[in-house]
Structure 1
Amino acid sequence: MRRLFTAAIAATALFLAGCSGNEPAPTVTAPSTAAAYPVTVGTVTLTAQPVKIVSLSPTATEMLFAIGAGPQVTAVDDQSNHPADAPKTDLSGFKPNAEAIAAKDPDLVVLSRDSDGIVAQLGKLSIPVFVSPAATTLDDTYREITELGTLTGHGTEAKALNERMAADIDKIVKAAPTRAKPLSYYYELSPDLYSATSKTFIGSVFNLFEMTNVADAADPDGKLGGYPQLAQESLVKANPDTVFLADTKCCQQSPETVRARPGWSTITAVAKGQIYPLDDDIASRWGPRTVDLVKAVADAVAKVPA
């Protein structure tokens, strides 16, 4: 079961990286006012403000609610668990079903990927679909929030959210202690040592603190999409100063389980107790709660002796 789960994680991560890395930034035609229509974002044109939005992306769900479009969201996928009052259903973003989606009578569907040609399927039903792919940088996040604000008639709120996020992140980073030598880190996606390199969205967060990613050597040319599986021997040899666990919910990993791993006692992060659990959901999404992830990394960095 664990092997299958990890394979799914790796495949999803690679697919997300491919989507976000290869798609050009869509053109945005902003309305003259927040409620002016028609509006066009990329290939999607809406003639009126959507009032029945189906979100099949947990990150998009968080973005929509954060910009004030929550009342327009009538259904979300089975992985959208934040905010708590999001109208969660059994719809899947991984294996979307056109008939099930159409049954919700949406006037806008938001996805993070075009799985199984779902965009074309819904297009045949005259249902507008906006693909908001996984971000690789914070700028991608701000752009997607802006795009959703334009489509939903909440451009002003989207702009305010972006400004607030940018200001909060800037404040957190500036308050972090400076170091003569950068801290190294290992970011764990699963117990069988899948990780994310500095070229991913996760890596961009750690780059804010000028940290060195020990996973970079396992995917130097990006052929693995930035999500390599590390060999234990190479990880022990890399000897990271810190370990961040993004598998606390999915796989019940903790500082205690890491310390109990054979051969890990010589790793500096383990020997010095510099192992930091993260919230899986926050760590895997690129929306408004990225600020919380930045704060978690900053708090960890501040705990490491200079």
Structure 2
Amino acid sequence: MTLWPVRTLFCALLLMPVMVWAEVCAEDNMGQQLCLPEPAKRIATLSPGATELAFAAGAGDKVVAVVNYSDYPEAARKLPLVGNHTRIDLEALLALKPDLVITWRTGNPPAQMEMLRALGLPMFAIEPRTFEGVSKVIEQLSILAGTEQEGFAEAERFRKGISLIAEQYRDAEPLPVFYQVWQTPLMTINDNHLIGKVIRLCGGANVFGDMPRLVPRISAEVVLEADPHAIITGSVEGAEDNQLDRWQSYTGMTAVAKNNLFFVPASPISRPTPRLLEASRDICQRLDVARERE
């Protein structure tokens, strides 16, 4: 057996590539800077939206824990569950040894989040409320996961898609729209909500856009008074169900008289993720139909 001289072996070792990770830092939606000594390898996502955004950032293969209803993309359905977004199974979560926990700013229980923080787990709180915010979160997550190439490309795809829709509907005739979030109690959204921004993107005029609360409760009487020309709600896969049946008896309402009661897939429109692009196109198409019936 031939042995390399010590000097030759030493030179060969010097020429071998060495993976050296630099510290990675990103700012979350609470304005907090998080720095990791190296890109995260084991990520826990504590809301369905956080799960989607982690996958959009190219970090899907690094996600080791999710919560209930993390159903998109399909690969997320196979990941270990650690409770739901309002109650986390801390023991199950800690057993999976995450080196990054992506939380939902207003959805996760504050007491449990403080407990995780006290245990020293790196926490990154997100909840984008604008189109640009969605792109920015994807970019920040990709930085923390070391997947910038995929994440920044997806963020830019989303930006360009939204810009194209905005240009297409820039001069669209405004159409009074009521978006029904829930039927009992009756709930809607204002213009600060991302769904409200989608309606405006498509040239719609949210009849409850000026209300102070993000998701206000309302009465049937105020809907009748507002007289929307289109009513939209989310349902499973956008299939028609009984959620809008209550309005059928109000034949004097323009939306009912013109048969402008529309259903769109609930999941894409209700989560601030890249699927908002798909949801925006759906809503724009529905409002195009309503304009043709004016």
| TM exceeding 0.5 | yes
Aligned to 2:14: none
Aligned 8 A contact 1:98 1:121 in 2: no
Shift of 1:138: 0.9
Aligned to 2:96: 104
Aligned to 2:277: 291
Q: Which secondary structure does the structure 2 equivalent of 1:197 belong to?
A: coil
When residues 230 and 191 of structure 1 are mapped into structure 2, their CA distance, relative to the original with a 3 A threshold, is same
Aligned residues with identical type, % of pairs: 25
When residues 51 and 272 of structure 1 are mapped into structure 2, their CA distance, relative to the original with a 3 A threshold, is same
Distance 2:176 2:275 in 1: 24
Q: Which secondary structure does the structure 2 equivalent of 1:85 belong to?
A: helix
When residues 261 and 298 of structure 1 are mapped into structure 2, their CA distance, relative to the original with a 3 A threshold, is closer
Aligned to 1:122: 116
Shift of 1:296: 0.7
Residue 44 (structure 2) pairs with residue 37 (structure 1): no
Distance 1:119 1:36 in 2: 28
Distance 1:299 1:210 in 2: 11
Shift of 1:78: 0.8
Question: Please, what TM-score do these two structures have when normalized by structure 2?
Answer: 0.82
Residue 32 (structure 2) pairs with residue 48 (structure 1): no
Distance 1:256 1:266 in 2: 20
Distance 2:166 2:209 in 1: 22
Aligned 8 A contact 1:245 1:254 in 2: no
Structure number with greater CO (CA < 8 Å, separation at least 6) is 1
Q: Structure 1 stretches (4+) deviating beyond 6 angstroms? A: none
When residues 51 and 115 of structure 1 are mapped into structure 2, their CA distance, relative to the original with a 3 A threshold, is same
Aligned 8 A contact 1:97 1:118 in 2: no
Q: Which secondary structure does the structure 1 equivalent of 2:202 belong to?
A: coil
Q: How does 1:18-167 map to 2 (within 5 A)?
A: 36-41=21-26, 42-86=32-76, 87-113=79-105, 114-133=108-127, 135-167=128-160
Aligned to 1:268: 254
- Structure 1: gaps spanning 5 or more residues: 1-34
Aligned to 2:181: 189
Q: Which secondary structure does the structure 2 equivalent of 1:187 belong to?
A: strand
Distance 2:256 2:243 in 1: 11
Q: Which secondary structure does the structure 1 equivalent of 2:96 belong to?
A: coil
Shift of 1:255: 6.6
CA RMSD across the alignment: 2.3
- Structure 2: gaps spanning 5 or more residues: 1-19, 27-31
Aligned 8 A contact 1:244 1:275 in 2: yes
Residue 234 (structure 2) pairs with residue 235 (structure 1): no
Q: Which secondary structure does the structure 2 equivalent of 1:278 belong to?
A: strand
When residues 176 and 256 of structure 1 are mapped into structure 2, their CA distance, relative to the original with a 3 A threshold, is farther
Q: Which secondary structure does the structure 2 equivalent of 1:131 belong to?
A: strand
Equivalent of 1:303 in 283, 289, 292: 289
Aligned to 1:211: 204
Aligned 8 A contact 1:245 1:253 in 2: no
Q: Deviations over 1:278-300 (max 9, x none)?
A: 21211110011010111111111
Q: Deviations over 1:195-250 (max 9, x none)?
A: 00112111111121332111235x2xx2x3x211111111011110111112x249
Shift of 1:131: 0.8
Shift of 1:152: 0.7
Aligned 8 A contact 1:64 1:148 in 2: yes
Shift of 1:159: 1.6
Q: Give the greater-gyration-radius structure (CA).
A: 2
Distance 2:232 2:278 in 1: 14
Distance 2:87 2:227 in 1: 39
Distance 2:57 2:245 in 1: 41
Shift of 1:106: 0.8
When residues 102 and 46 of structure 1 are mapped into structure 2, their CA distance, relative to the original with a 3 A threshold, is same
Question: Please, what TM-score do these two structures have when normalized by structure 1?
Answer: 0.79
User: Greater strand share, 1 or 2?
Assistant: 2
Aligned 8 A contact 1:258 1:270 in 2: no
Q: Deviations over 1:18-39 (max 9, x none)?
A: xxxxxxxxxxxxxxxxx95311
Equivalent of 2:167 in 174, 181, 192: 174
Distance 1:253 1:270 in 2: 18
Shift of 1:71: 0.7
